[in-house]
Structure 1
Amino acid sequence: MTTDNSKVIADFLALFAQKDASKLAPYFHPDIAFHNYGDPEIQGRDGVIAVWEGVFRIMERVEFTTLHSAVNGDLVIEEQVHGLALPGGKLAPIRNMAVYRMRDGQIIEWRDYTNQEYARSLLR
């Protein structure tokens, strides 16, 4: 993997459409901390992979798109659209802010922020 942090994140996000959590693993530092949409923080690579395995089981489609990105050394901040679709449902364009802190080309800290009520309304 490259150590260009913006490229690492772009490559990482492109994998979500494949819905294979094992492909995300190389992007996670073993000590990653993941805080998603206000849920309790998940610690460690295995825990984060388990979260995404669950999401991929539930969602028919998962597509992440970056609208804007700001990079300062090991910090990458992105405005994103998380496209999520339940089986038989339309792709819901959920606006999201993501903050990634990198270490040695891997994500060691990841925080996602969105309006959960709005996201749920789009998924109905």
Structure 2
Amino acid sequence: MRDNASAIDNDKIIKEFLDLFALKDATRLAPYFHPDIVFENYGSPEIKGRDAVVNLWAGVFSAMERVEFSTLHQAVDGDIVIAEQLHGLALPGRPLAPIRNMAIYRLQDGRIVEWRDYTNSEHARTLM
């Protein structure tokens, strides 16, 4: 396991990253991604590479009127960050849907190189 200072940094990095979602600007997320990032929204195909992940989020942001992500609980073990999150998503003219999510991040050199999201997609659709 890495030293405690690294764990604190990884904790801070992910919290800062999550705060950016409210800006709905996918280019602001890019510096947090390792060039070889692999993103998987459980049940969907993996998205590989920084540009592809940024493009994915640009599409989400363009479809949503509001995006508000927050951390409920977060645990750090070296390069691994496990976060229980509340993803607030609102389609145009609709209320903010509170979607619970579990995210697993692996960081390398201060950037997210692996990111897996676990959400009950069926339930999320009923909220939106």
SS of the counterpart of 1:24?
A: helix
User: What are structure 2's unaligned runs of at least 5 residues?
Assistant: 1-5
Q: Paired residues, what number?
A: 121
Measured after TM superposition, the shift of residue 36 of structure 1 is: 1.2
Measured after TM superposition, the shift of residue 19 of structure 1 is: 0.1
Residues 1-124 of structure 1: matches in 2 within 5 Å?
4-123=9-128
User: What are structure 1's unaligned runs of at least 5 residues?
Assistant: none
The amino acid across from 1:25 in the alignment is A
Instruction: Map Cα deviations across residues 75-100 of structure 1 (whole Å, 9 max, x no partner).
Output: 00000000000000000000000000
> Structure 2 CA distance, aligned partners of 1:37 and 1:87?
25
Measured after TM superposition, the shift of residue 37 of structure 1 is: 3.9
Percent identity over paired residues: 69
TM-score by length of 1: 0.96
TM-score by length of 2: 0.93
> Structure 2 CA distance, aligned partners of 1:72 and 1:83?
26
